[in-house]
Amino acid sequence: MNDVNIFNNSVKPQLFQPPNLVSLNFNHLISHKMKGNEKLITTLNSLLADELTVINQYMVQSEMCANWGYGKLHKAIRKQAMDEMHHAEWLIERILFFEGSPTVSKLNPMKIGKTVSEMISNNDETELKVVTEYNEAIKLAREVNDQGTADLLTKILKEEEGHVDWAEIQRAQIEQMGLENYLVNQIDSPAS
């Protein structure tokens, strides 16, 4: 019987050699990192400064109203401050998504007011300014083909427009019923 050599001596076994990872080029992977448009990130940071400013403005006003005994006004302005906190949070998330740096140390000048009428008037002016800025930011987001940011800014814009509407209703009520009657309506009725 013939012995069959199943091992071919002409082929030497070779060990697996892993590729040299140091010499591999991963630049194609790095280029796919999410980077945002610098002008849009700057705009988002500007909007963030607006939101952080108005959070502080509304919290001070809310506590002033509570101190004066206007519980309903305290709660309404406090709720708006909470809305603004959500807006700031969403803007921070978006800036970070684009690998930008949120600027949380910059505040714009606050317009608190010394009376309820001044507060409402100041808040109406502030919100109208912010609505204009959000509309401009939405336009920029669309120009740079960033629908996700445009959608987020539109969501925030609608809430800001609600704040304008609230302030305008308060101003109309003060004008129609007089400040004293308006303020009487802002006092929480005692629990029965």
Q: What is the pLDDT of residues 79-99, one digit of tens each?
A: 999 999 999 999 999 999 999
C-alpha 54/C-alpha 128 separation (Å) is 12
Answer whether 31's CB lies under 8 Å from 83's CB.
no
- Long-range CB contacts (within 8 A, 24+) of 33-37: 33/99, 34/97, 34/98, 34/99, 35/98, 35/99, 36/95, 36/97, 36/98, 36/99, 36/100, 36/146, 36/149, 37/98, 37/144, 37/146
pTM: 0.80
C-alpha 123/C-alpha 132 separation (Å) is 14
pLDDT of residue 17: 57
Amino acid at 40: L
Position 11 confidence tier, pLDDT thresholds 50, 70, 90: low
pLDDT of residue 13: 53
On the question of pLDDT at 103 being above 70, the answer is yes
Domains assigned to the chain: 34-185 (1.20.1260.10)
C-alpha 11/C-alpha 102 separation (Å) is 62
What is the mean pLDDT of the segment spanning 187-191? Answer: 76
